A and B are shown apart, each in its own frame.
Chain A
Amino acid sequence: MSLHYTRRKAANLIAQGASVASALFGIIFLFWILKDVLTLGLPAVNASFFMELPAPAGVDGGGLANAILGTLMITVIATVIGVPSGILAGTYLSEYGRKSRVADVVRFLSDILVSAPSIVIGVFVYALMVKPFGGFSAIAGSVALAIIMLPVVIRTAEEMLKLVPDATREAALALGAPHWKVTVQVVYRGAIRGITTGVMLAVARVSGETAPLLFTSFNNSFWNFNLTEPTSTLTVTIFNYAMGPYEDWHTKAWGAALLITAMVLVVTISARFFVRGKAN
């Protein structure tokens, strides 16, 4: 009898121990990675890292200024393409298509597209925009990132718009406002905070993407402000430098990794507080 109890208690204890250990496992890797990115990246971050062009291969010094600008440029253009279309599509799902068949299909496909392999999106944009126009370009990279961003924005926009109570919509409609005005001036206002958060998370996510940029925006050792030319980005630079043979390249790659990681984490954490602030 007592053996039976002991065994049950032991099983319970083992299971709980394993569960605590799993949580620790996850947290250890988070801090381990962050620690290495910080300690190995910091030595690379100095004024010339932000201000100068890359030095020729094998020569120490120089910076990644063009890659920083390239990442900014490509991400901003992707945001300009992806966010408005995503919000409008999300608006359709939430305001017009709650029970429609088309909306269900769009939801289903968006959820799949969110997790679809980003490298395949890169191949797709290569076939669509790089091959026919005869060269890698910043705009192709932006389109690839916009496609990756689109489903994320659609789903968040829909969720956030749905959180606005129907009574608010009805009140505005009862005053005689047309549906689109209700949506733009009442519903959007109620959901602006959530949508902004979702957009921030989507932007942070795509700014760390590498795979879709490898064969769209490609790489460039110089400044580039022309959207139809290959453009260097931090993530692709990390890939090339980390795979390369020079010690200085590795240091630079860690520096770029630190920059990208810090940006993504700051946005993710602040988005979290932003949402929590709303909940209270």
Chain B
Amino acid sequence: MKNVIDRHKADKLGDSLFKGVSFFFAVSVIALMILIFAVLVKESWLSLKAFGFGFVYSSAWDPVAGDFGALPAIYGTIVSSIIAIVIAVPVSFGIAIFLTEMAPAWLRGPIGTAIELLASIPSIIYGMWGLFILAPILSEYVEPPLVEYLGFLPLFSGAPLGIGMLPAGFILAIMIIPFISSVTRDVIRMVPSILKESGYGVGATKWEVIWKIVIPFAKSGIIGAVILGLGRALGETMAVTFLIGNSHDISMNLLDPATSISATLANEFTEAVEDIYLSSLVELGLILFVITFVVLALAKLLIARFSYDGGRR
């Protein structure tokens, strides 16, 4: 009998130990998130105090004089991500439609895999490929016609360099297409087939079923997918660093070199010796972290409705 009681006690101990350890690691994610915020705030304190809120809308970037402002980097981050979204959304949407509604079953697997492989290629490969292969092509064949025919717009009035805001946005678009299209595909799959069948039943074409039944049903999930892609694009570093041109001037012209938060960090962080310089760079990182946190949280809330919740509701 004593034997059994001892074993029972050992089991109980083992249980609470195991539960405790696994709880510790689960909670460590919360602790990690808080720690990241705390450390970034602490390290950027010098710059927060020196420049105050003006940091966000000042376009100064003078490491010698120790005067810093985040506006060019924030502008570049947002504009390059918007370009990426504008290009990636229609394409991803087409891919998702192709994979769910159009492709024959034997083609869905291979094409879906190919698109997802795009997501697994490391960011640095995109950057290098963009710099050595894409940029020359853009400056030779794509940007000159843009300047020639759309040059009257302030957006396309510069020299066709092959690196700048537009090339960076374009490479970002290729990188986020797999994310947007795979989430969109999953969301579209959740549309009950009985709804689609009733559409076909009254004689709607495939496009009409997609446009008038599938999309309205999946709207919030699709918006979530787009915002997820935006969150990815905002924080993407290496590819942008190679292609954006690293200039702290703000220009309306999308062909001009620009910079982004992530590119500024990648290029200048190890060179920053003065405390205020380093602190300003960390504050840039903090701004990026806050922006992406908000954007990704929003995406998560929108997509959550379409994911399987274990039958809780």
Contact = CB atoms under 8 A, between A and B. Distances in A.
A204 B120 contact: yes
A23 B94 contact: yes
Contact of A116 (B91, B94, B292): B292
Given A89-B25, A151-B29, A253-B128, A210 B123 contact: yes
Of all A-B residue pairs in the complex, the 7 with the closest CB atoms, nearest first, are A117-B235, A22-B94, A208-B122, A180-B18, A178-B11, A92-B22, A92-B26
Interface stretch (A47-55, A59-67, A104-112, A221-229): A104-112
A144 B306 CA distance: 32
A29 B27 CA distance: 41
Given A88-B25, A127-B282, A119 B265 contact: yes
Given A115-B231, A117-B262, A97 B296 contact: no
Interface stretch (A13-21, A72-80, A190-198): A13-21
Nearest to B99: A23
A93 B235 CA distance: 28
A26 B114 contact: yes
A45 interface: no
Contacts of B197: none
A32 B171 CA distance: 13
Contact of B237 (A86, A106, A117, A257): A117
Interface in A240-256: 242-243, 250, 253-254
Contacts of B238: 210-211, 239
Given A15-B210, A16-B207, A26-B95, A210 B28 contact: no
Q: How large is the interface on A (under 10, 10 to 19, 20 to 34, 35 or more residues)?
A: 35 or more
Contacts of B132: 36, 40, 242, 250
The interface residues of chain B, by DSSP majority, are classed as helix
B189 to A, nearest CB: 16
Interface string B52-83: 00000000000000000000000000000000
B39 A29 contact: no
A211 B26 contact: no
A175 interface: no
B297 A127 contact: no
27 contacts: A20-B94, A22-B98, A23-B115, A26-B91, A26-B115, A30-B118, A40-B132, A85-B28, A88-B26, A91-B22, A92-B25, A97-B26, A106-B27, A106-B30, A112-B300, A113-B32, A115-B231, A117-B288, A119-B288, A122-B265, A124-B36, A147-B32, A179-B19, A208-B125, A239-B127, A239-B241, A268-B117
B46 interface: no
A178 B113 CA distance: 41
A22 B173 CA distance: 13
A272 B310 CA distance: 24
Given A92-B25, A178-B11, A178-B15, A23 B310 contact: no
Interface string A200-216: 00001100111100110
Contacts of B26: 88-89, 92-93, 97, 102-103, 106, 154
Interface string A261-274: 10011001100100
Given A22-B93, A22-B98, 18 more contacts: A12-B207, A30-B118, A37-B125, A85-B28, A89-B26, A92-B26, A95-B22, A112-B293, A112-B297, A117-B292, A124-B35, A127-B43, A180-B15, A209-B122, A210-B124, A210-B237, A242-B128, A268-B117
A57 interface: no
Nearest to A177: B11
A189 interface: no
Interface string B221-245: 0000000100110111110011000
A95 B12 CA distance: 16
Q: How large is the interface on B (under 10, 10 to 19, 20 to 34, 35 or more residues)?
A: 35 or more
Contacts of A20: 94, 98, 102
B22 A265 contact: no
A147 to B, nearest CB: 7
Interface stretch (B154-162, B174-182, B250-258): B174-182
Interface in B264-290: 265-266, 269-270, 281-282, 285, 288-289
B34 to A, nearest CB: 10
Contact of B236 (A112, A117, A147, A215): A117
Contact of B19 (A15, A96, A184, A209): A96
Nearest to A237: B124
Nearest to B128: A242
